[in-house]
């Protein structure tokens, strides 16, 4: 068979699968990985006891859409949960000697529902449990690590397998591009960026129970002053009433974190966002179907990265240097609006470019050739 001179300028339309790498195989692999990065990775909080299956699924589907638009948003939530779960020493000192980070995750996701002598029950985070124990309203929880893990729908093996499966796509793309000098599609590059956020998210949520359906009930003794709890948490009356009425903790971690922790977590999250969006800029000199799509990709990838750089700049200026706090609303809206528009553009481009890809994208490689032989 004569050698084929494959260059980035040689283009081809939709290609069937049988003999070589086909369009369906490429699309299926990327979509399956993105689904794992946006749906399977989610570790949402315990639902309301009265939530139906459809309501729980709809909530998870909404978060999947958020993760598809901006996976670094979910990564930020996971980083916040990770920081909040570090509160273990205080609970151990209060008598819960078997308290672990998994216990903290379980509490902060609404795993404990407190029933006072009078009044409505409410979900108790680690900070609330500490306050209740310190003030003599309850004894330290006795639930064990094994009992919490039994309520989780995923273990370390399923999480590890999901990470390895997603990481294989990254290895495949790097090997094809670096070792064999073959082009990769824009969708594959974007999927690699999804995998980065997925891995960080899984690391942060590694010890967090997944898809817990029911909370542990705790019954208090003695009269309870709800206002003291609310004030100790820095929550407004409206925020507290919303939590009590919903019988669940919303899927964000900032409210369960101490003030000092959240600053570094938010900065770290913005750095992850910058890296995630810079990965898309690696397609700066890729071969696109048209020159207009090339420039569209360059602009949208640059603007999405700029949105996080701008957000980090504003956050440091306001929170560390204590200036620019009176900036008009449109200043604060620049980053989010730019980001959403740029991300939508990138998502459209990564799929429309599949109609015409360099022929090298479909070339099969022999991985045995990459292994050094003695």
User: What pLDDT, on the 0 to 100 scale, is given for residue 370?
Assistant: 57
User: What pLDDT, on the 0 to 100 scale, is given for residue 3?
Assistant: 47
- Residue 338 and residue 182: Cα distance in Å, rounded? 33
What is the token pair recorded at 269? 């999250």
User: What pLDDT, on the 0 to 100 scale, is given for residue 268?
Assistant: 87
Q: Which residues neighbour 367 within 8 Å (Cβ) at sequence distance 6 or greater?
A: 175
Q: Which residue has the tokens 């299956």?
A: 53
User: What pLDDT, on the 0 to 100 scale, is given for residue 369?
Assistant: 59
- Residue 247 and residue 237: Cα distance in Å, rounded? 15
Instruction: Judge whether 45 and 251 are in contact, CB under 8 Å.
Output: yes
Strand partners, 208: none
User: What pLDDT, on the 0 to 100 scale, is given for residue 374?
Assistant: 45
User: What pLDDT, on the 0 to 100 scale, is given for residue 5?
Assistant: 53
Burial of 283: CB neighbours in 10 Å, binned 0-12, 13-18, 19+: buried
Q: Which residues neighbour 227 within 8 Å (Cβ) at sequence distance 6 or greater?
A: none
Low-confidence ranges of the chain (pLDDT < 70): 1-10, 15-20, 253-261, 324-332, 367-374
User: What pLDDT, on the 0 to 100 scale, is given for residue 254?
Assistant: 52
Model-level pTM?
0.86
């Amino acid at each position: 068979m004569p050698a084929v001179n494959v260059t980035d300028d040689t283009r081809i339309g939709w290609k069937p699968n049988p003999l070589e790498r086909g369009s369906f195989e490429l699309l299926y692999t990327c979509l399956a990985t993105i689904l794992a990065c946006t749906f399977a990775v989610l570790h949402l909080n315990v639902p309301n006891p009265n939530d139906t299956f459809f309501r729980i699924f709809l909530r998870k589907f909404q978060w999947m859409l958020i993760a598809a638009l901006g996976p670094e948003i979910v990564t930020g939530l996971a980083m916040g949960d990770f920081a909040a779960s570090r509160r273990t020493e205080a609970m151990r000192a209060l008598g819960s000697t078997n308290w672990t980070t998994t216990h903290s995750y379980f509490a902060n996701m609404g795993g404990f529902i407190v029933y006072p002598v009078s009044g409505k029950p409410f979900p108790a985070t680690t900070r609330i449990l500490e306050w209740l124990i310190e003030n003599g309203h309850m004894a330290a929880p006795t639930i064990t690590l094994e009992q919490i893990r039994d309520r989780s729908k995923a273990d370390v093996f399923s999480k590890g397998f999901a990470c390895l499966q997603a990481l294989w796509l990254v290895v495949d793309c790097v090997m094809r591009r670096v070792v064999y000098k073959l082009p990769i599609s824009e969708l594959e590059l974007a999927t690699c960026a999804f995998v980065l956020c997925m891995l960080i998210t899984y690391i942060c949520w590694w010890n967090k129970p997944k898809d817990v359906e029911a909370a542990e009930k705790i019954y208090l003794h003695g009269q309870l002053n709800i206002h003291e709890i609310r004030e100790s948490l820095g929550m407004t009356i409206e925020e507290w009433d919303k939590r009590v009425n919903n019988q669940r903790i919303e899927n964000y971690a900032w409210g369960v974190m101490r003030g000092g922790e959240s600053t570094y977590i938010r900065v770290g999250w913005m750095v992850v966002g910058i890296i995630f969006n810079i990965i898309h800029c690696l397609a700066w000199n890729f071969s696109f179907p048209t020159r207009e799509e090339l420039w569209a990709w360059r602009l949208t990838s640059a603007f999405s990265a700029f949105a996080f750089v701008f957000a980090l700049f504003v956050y440091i200026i306001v929170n560390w240097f204590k200036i620019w706090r009176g900036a008009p609303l449109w200043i604060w809206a620049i980053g989010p609006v730019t980001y959403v528009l740029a991300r939508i553009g990138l998502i459209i481009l990564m799929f429309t470019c599949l109609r015409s890809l360099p022929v090298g994208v479909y070339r099969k490689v022999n991985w045995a050739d990459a292994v050094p032989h003695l």
